[in-house]
Structure 1
Amino acid sequence: MFIYAIGSSDCGWEYPPSGATSTSCNHGGAVMQAAVFELGYGSSRIAWMGGGTLPSSAYLGSSPVCESFGELTFDCTAGLTIVGWVVDYDLSGWQGGFFRYQNTSTNSPFNTMSVQINIL
């Protein structure tokens, strides 16, 4: 699991390297979104911004990630196996702060993973 991208009307899309603790661009403006790359299947998504839980209306949806000949792809054509998701959240109205996301696996041993980033 990692922060895949942060997008905003002030900066456009930024793709922080895996493990980054903050964005390099000063995000904000009228529109802001976060996308989390999640390998596997989870059943208990929770997202926070600025220390508070985001409402369910902030969840914009998920796009499947598939495996094709040992490589991950966003082009999930018929016959490919879905191995994860890119999960999108609407952070519009925020001018920055800590974004945190967690999910609990649907498979034993039901691990909970989380990731966070300081959005400048």
Structure 2
Amino acid sequence: MKKRVISILLAAIFLLISTTTVFAENNQVKNYEGNFLKESGPIEITDGLRDQLKKMREKSASDVQPMAEAPPLSYLEVYAAISSQNPTYEYFTANQTSSVADHGGAEMYIVTAELGYGFQRHAKIANSAFLPEVQYQMIDLDNDSIVDGWFYWWDASGYDSGLFTYENRSANYPFNTMFDSIIIK
């Protein structure tokens, strides 16, 4: 009987630890870099992305429960680029295959957007080694202080152009891997 009670307690503790509900303050931004990204300010969610993310969230979570585990990765895209050569964000559409602006220069950052939670983020440009993640910002689609997704900034400084690829694997079931790419001019 004593072993059974201990087993039940351990199982309950494990369940409490393994479920994650994420709350965040509005406009939570983690900035590792210096002046260039601070001067550009937080990235905005375009109406098109907001609509697309809301549709995906509704499709993937028809019965959301309070205190449920974090949602799986259900949407991912290369969202924007900013560089010292083009110092305002160039926002990409979901089906865009290359940037319009000519990027590059001393600093270049590429922004990805995702809905849900992943844990194996990998970004590359022009077959480089993995690019460092230098900043992130939470996405809260309906201002309920629950994180719906994330923007991530990738440091591609030193590259003038090339194919930018990004992939991430869901942190929870179904543990899917998602991928997107764009040619940066």
Q: What is the TM-score normalised by the length of structure 2?
A: 0.56
For 1:25, what is the secondary structure of its paired residue?
A: coil
CA distance in 1, matches of 2:151, 2:174: 22
Aligned pairs for 1:31-70 within 5 A? 31-55=107-131, 58-68=132-142
Report the equivalent of 1:6. Answer: 81
Deviations 1:6-62 (A, max 9, x none): 01111122111112110001111111000001111001111111112325xx21032
Unmatched segments (≥5 aa) in structure 2 = 1-75
In proportion to residue count, which structure has more strand? 1
Question: Which structure has the higher relative contact order (CA within 8 Å, separation 6+)?
Answer: 1
User: Which of the numbers 171, 180, 184 marks the counterpart of 1:106?
Assistant: 171
Unmatched segments (≥5 aa) in structure 1 = 69-75
CA distance in 1, matches of 2:104, 2:119: 30
Larger Rg: 2
CA distance in 1, matches of 2:128, 2:182: 14
Give the total of aligned pairs.
Answer: 109
CA contact (8 A) 1:46 1:53 kept: no
Letter in 2 for 1:66: D
Q: What is the TM-score normalised by the length of structure 1?
A: 0.85
CA distance in 2, matches of 1:33, 1:63: 14
CA distance in 2, matches of 1:35, 1:50: 16
